[in-house]
Amino acid sequence: MKSSKTKNRRWIYATLILMLLALISFSVLPIVSSMVQASQGKQASLVTPETTRLENEALGYQLVLEREPDNENALLGLLETRLRQGDLEAAIAPLKRLAQLNPQQPDYGILLAQSQQQLKNYAEALNTYQAIIAANPGDMRALKGMVDVYLEQNRSQDAINLVQNTLDEAITEQSKESASQSVFNLTSLQLLLGEIYGEQERYDEALVIYDQAIKGDKDDFRPLLAKGMLLREQGQENEAQTLFKEAILKAPVQYKEQLKDISLQRPQPEKKRPKVEPQKSEKSE
């Protein structure tokens, strides 16, 4: 069982990554809310008027798709119905077809990979994320998704190698052209690498990455926040508060209150637990 400290760190990093991704455009599809509900698992298979209605809806969409396999309205309808039924596995087929029909729209691919990941089809999820990255090298959602898959499989070194290699590519690209023309967000990549190091309790390496990010973009609040949270975890509350104040000053208005709430939190005292060494990296998919 994970300690409360580890759970707290995961929540904090989740908050940071949400802010990280919020700075990247993502047109949210209407089915996202249904996807979240479906991720909680299949509902009990009780026959009710609602379940009967949903099954009839699904059957109707399937009949349309037998005649018109690429009818996107029917595919979307079937997808949403399957998600309302809590049947994520049955949602894979229409979602996969939507992703194939819209290669220029990575949102469907992201949702497909997340669904495969939720079902623990890790090899398929990695393949889907890799295809998105091949077509969109700077897509942070796909990169973060791959990192999560690796970490779920205790393949922390694979996650580090993935982000470090992407970071090296980004630095090389930015040395040849202006940062505004690059498909990569250098600070976001540094934050993601720092997150992995933090998860593995490799704090010194995480702090080095955060310092590089702070130096590289003096107007971005996120590296300040990330370093502050890491210092807080290590018991350096005064130093953390200094960074929080600076992050709040630099943050966009929509994040200021959330950052203030984070700065007011106080970590619960906890007994020191032995450090768990990350497992040896397996061969990448």
Compute the distance between CA of residue 232 and CA of residue 244 in angstroms, rounded to an integer.
10
Quote the pLDDT of residue 222: 94
Q: Which residues contact 29 (CB under 8 A, 6 or more apart)?
A: 107, 108, 111
Q: Length of the chain, please?
A: 285
171 φ, ψ (degrees, to nearest 5): -65, -40
**Numbers of helices and strands, H then E, in the chain:** 14, 0
Write out the chain's pLDDT in tens, 285 residues.
Answer: 445 555 454 444 444 444 444 433 333 343 444 444 444 444 445 678 888 899 999 999 999 999 999 999 999 999 989 988 888 899 999 999 999 998 888 889 999 999 999 999 999 999 999 999 998 888 999 999 999 999 999 999 999 999 999 999 998 887 776 656 678 889 999 999 999 999 999 999 999 999 999 999 999 999 999 999 999 999 999 999 999 999 999 999 999 999 999 999 876 554 444 443 444 444 444
Quote the pLDDT of residue 24: 33
Quote the pLDDT of residue 19: 46
Compute the distance between CA of residue 190 and CA of residue 196 in angstroms, rounded to an integer.
10
Q: Per CATH, which fold does 1-24+185-269 belong to?
A: 1.25.40
Compute the distance between CA of residue 193 and CA of residue 206 in angstroms, rounded to an integer.
8
Residue 231 to residues 20, 83, 196, 242, Cα–Cα distance (Å): 19, 41, 16, 11
Question: Is this model's pTM higher than 0.85 or not?
Answer: no
For residue 280, which amino acid is it?
K
Quote the pLDDT of residue 146: 96
Residue 120 to residues 110, 179, 181, Cα–Cα distance (Å): 15, 37, 36
Residue extents of the structural domains in the chain: 1-24+185-269
Compute the distance between CA of residue 195 and CA of residue 106 in angstroms, rounded to an integer.
24
**Of all residues in the chain, what percent are helix, strand and coil, respectively (each to 5)?**
70, 0, 30
Quote the pLDDT of residue 48: 85
- The b-or-e profile of 71-100 (16+ CB within 10 A means b, else e) is beebbbbbbbbbbbbbbbebbbebbbbbbe
